[in-house]
Amino acid sequence: MVAHHTLSPRRYMILGLVAVCAPLGDTCLSRGMTRLPPITLAHPGTLIAAVFTPWIALGIALLIGFFASYLTALSWADLTFVLPATAFGNVIVALLSRFWLQEAISMQRWAGIVLITLG
Amino acid sequence: MTIPVHPGPWTAAAMIAAIVLSSTAGEVLTAAAMKSIGDLDVIRARAGMKGAIRAVVTCPLFFAGVSFLALAFFALLFALNHLNLSLVAPASASLTLVTNAVAARIFLKENVDRRRWTAAVLVCVGVYFLAH
């Protein structure tokens, strides 16, 4: 178990990556998918083609980055230490969707995000 | 099936349910697969890295798990094509935690402590607010 005050700068950076990569990756996925025309279940092949578009490819790369940093963090810290970093990702996703994707987020939705992060 | 430009609540719920259920199926099957394969360190000591990799890739449960995880990813892309990220990301991530806890209890016979169930209830309430 790693005590908070013994974290090296490099390990803080890894935890930072854990918190940030998944939200950034999801935001890139969302940006890529909203730029495509509506996909219907009658043409599932369009979903596979979507994987090769730039924003989706960047999103996938970021999600792989998240997974790599997550496993790295778990190799030297307990899950209960790493999970808050991932939980905070909910807040980062909300901020990114509000300020980068220009989505409207009601007060109720913010309340929901806070409750989920606490949970 | 044509999906309207702004899907109604039941369509949105169905899209999120698809992500959540396939994620949980994938994770439970992968966990079951790794348990059935046994200690990878022991296999690696006996048969080397190749033996360990072969043990994993020849396990049908593992392929089933990975297939469901892939399905979950495409379900996520599909949902993001129609719904806002601020709804899909927290709802699917948090509900997956809840269904994982339930599935682990039922299928993997894991013990889930009371704190985790309380957190699950908090998450469900949060998702209700998220959707409004």
Residue A1 has pLDDT above 60, yes or no: no
Rounded to whole angstroms, how far apart are CA atoms B11 and B51?
A: 45
Higher pLDDT, A30 or A8: A30
CB contact under 8 A, B126 and A112: yes
SS3 at position A45: helix
Cα B78 to Cα B65: distance, rounded to the nearest angstrom: 20
**Residue B66, exposed/middle/buried by CB under 10 A (0-12, 13-18, 19+)?**
middle
Chain B residues whose CB is inside 8 A of the A44 CB are 74
pTM of the model: 0.81
Confidence of residue B4 (pLDDT cuts 50, 70, 90): low
CB A88 within 8 A of CB A117: yes
CB contact under 8 A, B89 and A93: yes
Q: Where residue B2 falls among pLDDT bands split at 50, 70, 90?
A: low
Domain range for B96 is 9-130
Span B17-68, pLDDT tens digits: 999 999 999 988 888 888 888 787 888 888 888 888 888 888 899 899 999 9
pLDDT reading at B116 higher than 80:
no
Give residue A24's identity as a one-letter amino acid code.
L
Q: Of the candidates B76, B82, B122, which has its C-beta nearest A115's C-beta?
A: B122
| Whether residue B74 has pLDDT greater than 80 | yes
- Report the chain B residue with the minimal C-alpha distance to residue A92: B86
Asked whether the beta carbons of B43 and B37 are under 8 A apart, the reply is yes
CB atoms within 10 A of CB B5: 6
Quote the pLDDT of residue B83. 92
- Start-to-end CA span in chain A (Å): 22
User: In this predicted structure, what is the pLDDT of residue B132?
Assistant: 67
Any B CB within 8 A of A46 CB: no
pLDDT score recorded for residue B21 = 96
Quick: pLDDT tens for A97-107: 888 888 888 88
pLDDT at A6 over 80: no
CB contact under 8 A, B85 and A30: yes
Whether residue B2 lies inside any domain: the answer is no
Whole-number pLDDT of residue B23: 93
* pLDDT of amino acid A90: 82
Distance from CA of A115 to the nearest CA of B (A): 5
Residue A64 is predicted with a pLDDT of 92
Q: Tell me, yes or no, if A113 comes closer than 8 A to chain B by beta carbon.
A: yes
pLDDT at A2 over 60: no
DSSP-assigned states of every residue in chain B: ----SS--HHHHHHHHHHHHHHHHHHHHHHHHHHHHH--HHHHHHHHHHHHHHHHHHT-HHHHHHHHHHHHHHHHHHHHHHHS-HHHHHHHHHHHHHHHHHHHHHHHS-----HHHHHHHHHHHHHHHHHT-
B16 pLDDT higher than 90: yes
CB contact under 8 A, B77 and A33: yes
ipTM above 0.90, yes or no: no
What pLDDT, in 10s, does the model give residues B75-88? 999 999 999 998 89
CA A11 to chain centre: 19
Contacts of B88 in chain A (CB under 8 A): 30
B125 vs A: CB within 8 A: yes
Mean pLDDT over each residue of chain B, to the nearest integer: 85
User: Mean of the pLDDT values across residues B95-114?
Assistant: 83
Residue B126 lies in a domain: yes
Tell whether the model's pLDDT for residue A38 goes beyond 70.
yes
Q: Which of A111-115, B20-24, B118-122 has the highest mean pLDDT?
A: B20-24
| Interface residue B131 vs chain A (CB under 8 A) | yes
Structural domain total, chain B? 1
Yes or no, beta carbons of B84 and A90 under 8 Å apart: no
Give me the pLDDT at residue A98, please.
Answer: 86
